[in-house]
């Protein structure tokens, strides 16, 4: 925070002096010879890693605010992924919504770029399901309302996420009233009304069948993923899965499915509107799948 009467040069000098002090303290406390500093942030620990990026937990040197730093390695990006990164940056830099991860800053590094993101202490939805098992219907409804609110913003910008899954949905905190936030837009892209995409991408357990079949697709692939997430919230396991040759087995199971494999323990107690929403989100034919407007107006979300 800038002090009253303080010049820009004075503030920068104060920040540099604070950096030196905190870095030295960090070395003493951690007994390490090296402390990694990115901009105004000290890296604390690695919290995630993928083929093209690493996510770090970090602290602001001056304010001590906890953040997440997503380090994207530019040399690992093909032209398609570069376009996805541009889409991610353009979208997140102009959006501030409680159900979408907030981009705080962008820092250019050597051969990489760091996205400074809000830190979500509650972890991701996959870990939540593993720890708690299937959730109560009222919790699933609240979660779907929040995801729907976030997706509505994406839809208004003509953006499809293409990798919606529990691992990419974060919880703001560990409390029972945690807020869900859609994260990791690394595969997102703009698809205008009437246009289609064709790149095969995403996570097989949550990929729409039209992607698995190498067909062109539109924004309805995100609605399939949403249906798979709702099913997993209710049952504690995804609707379709295979052990070997995953994509082929998944597609065969989807094609042969006569009714969704709801747990016999929970199905009798589920609201028919809940089952209806889940079933219509997981329609194999995208033309018969719920549209965004039908999803937002569905009875299950209105209670």
| Same domain assignment for residues 69 and 203 | no
Q: Report the 10 Å Cβ neighbour count for 267.
A: 14
| CATH classification of the domain holding 213 | 1.10.510.10
Sheet with 41-49, edge to edge strand ranges: 37-38, 41-49, 53-60, 66-73, 112-118, 103-108
- Domain span at 60: 30-118
Same domain, 177 and 47: no
- Please give the residue that has the higher pLDDT: either 61 or 23: 61
Residue 248, classed as helix, strand or coil, is: helix
Helix (H) or strand (E) holding 57, with range, is strand 53-60
Does residue 63 surpass a pLDDT of 60? yes
Give the whole-angstrom CA distance, residue 169 versus residue 207. 16
- Assess whether 192 and 291 both reside in one domain: yes
What is the spatial distance between Cα 263 and Cα 193, in angstroms, rounded to a whole number? 37
Asked if 94 and 137 sit in the same domain, the reply is no
pLDDT tens, position by position, 110-157 = 999 999 999 999 999 999 999 999 999 999 999 999 999 999 999 999
Q: What pLDDT does 4 receive? A: 61
Say yes or no to pLDDT of 208 above 80. yes
In a domain, 138, yes or no: yes
Asked whether residue 4 is assigned to any structural domain, the reply reads: no
The answer to the question of residue 24 being in a domain is no
Reported confidence tier of residue 14, pLDDT bands at 50, 70, 90: low
Tell me the C-alpha distance between 277 and 262, whole Å: 13
Do 50 and 171 share a domain, yes or no?
A: no
Last residue of a domain, one of 118, 144, 169: 118
**Each residue of 30-59: pLDDT tens digit?**
445 578 999 999 999 999 999 999 999 999
Please answer whether residues 203 and 212 qualify as being in contact, where contact means their C-beta atoms are separated by less than 8 angstroms: no
For the question of residue 163 being annotated catalytic, the response is: yes
Co-location of 129 and 114 in the same domain: no
Last residue of one domain, picked from the residues 83, 118, 153:
118
Residues 163 and 86 in one domain: no
Instruction: Say which residue, 27 or 85, is predicted with more confidence.
Output: 85
d(CA 85, CA 91): 10
Give pLDDT, residue 262: 95
**Confidence at 28, pLDDT banded by 50, 70, 90:** very low
Cβ–Cβ under 8 Å, residues 197 and 191: yes
CB-facing half-sphere around the CA of 249: CA atoms within 13 A: 10
112-118 vs 189-190, strand pairing mode = unpaired
Whether 17 is covered by a domain: the verdict is: no
185/291 same-domain check = yes
From 86, 105, 163, 184, active-site residue: 163
Exposed, middle or buried: residue 34 (CB in 10 Å: 0-12, 13-18, 19+)? exposed
- Summarize pLDDT for 76-100 with one digit per residue, the tens: 999 999 999 999 999 999 999 999 9
**Domain check: are 76 and 183 in the same one?**
no
Q: How many CB atoms lie within 10 A of CB 198?
A: 9
Q: Within this chain, do residues 81 and 156 fall inside the same structural domain, yes or no?
A: no
| pLDDT beyond 60 at 3 | no
The three-class DSSP label of residue 303 is: coil
CATH classification of the domain holding 85: 3.30.200.20
Q: 118, 135, 156: which is the final residue of a domain?
A: 118
What's the domain count of the chain? 2
* pLDDT per residue as tens digits for the range 218-262: 999 999 999 999 999 999 999 998 765 578 889 999 999 999 999
Same domain, 93 and 216: no
pTM over 0.75: yes
C-alpha span between 197 and 158 (Å, rounded): 12
Domain match, 154 and 290 both: yes
Position 143 in a domain? yes
């Amino acid at each position: 925070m800038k002090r009253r009467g303080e010049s820009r040069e004075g503030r920068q000098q104060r920040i540099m002096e604070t950096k030196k002090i905190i870095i030295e303290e960090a070395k003493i406390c951690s007994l390490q010879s090296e402390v990694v500093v990115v901009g105004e942030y000290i890296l604390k620990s690695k919290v995630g890693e993928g083929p093209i990026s690493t996510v770090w937990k970090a602290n602001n040197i001056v304010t001590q605010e906890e953040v997440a730093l997503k380090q994207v390695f530019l040399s690992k990006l093909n032209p398609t992924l570069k376009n996805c990164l541009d889409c991610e940056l353009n979208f997140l830099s102009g959006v501030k919504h409680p159900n979408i991860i907030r981009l705080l800053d962008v820092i250019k590094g050597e051969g990489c770029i760091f996205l400074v993101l809000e830190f979500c202490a509650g972890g991701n939805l996959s870990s939540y399901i593993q720890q708690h098992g299937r959730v109560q219907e009222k919790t699933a409804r609240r979660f779907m309302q929040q995801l729907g609110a976030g997706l509505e913003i994406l839809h208004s910008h003509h953006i499809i996420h293409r990798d919606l899954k529990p691992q990419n949905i974060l919880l703001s905190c560990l409390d029972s009233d945690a807020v869900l936030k859609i994260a990791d837009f690394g595969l997102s892209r703009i698809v205008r009304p009437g246009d289609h995409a064709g790149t095969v991408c995403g996570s097989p357990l949550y990929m729409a069948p039209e992607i698995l079949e190498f067909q062109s697709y539109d924004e309805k692939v995100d609605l399939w993923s949403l249906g798979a997430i709702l099913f997993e919230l209710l049952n504690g396991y995804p609707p379709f899965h295979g052990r070997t040759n995953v994509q082929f087995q998944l597609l065969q199971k989807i094609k042969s499915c006569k009714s969704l494999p709801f747990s016999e323990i929970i199905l009798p107690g589920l609201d028919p509107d809940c089952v209806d929403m889940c079933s219509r989100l997981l329609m194999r034919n995208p033309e018969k799948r719920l549209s965004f407007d039908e999803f937002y107006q569905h009875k299950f979300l209105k209670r």
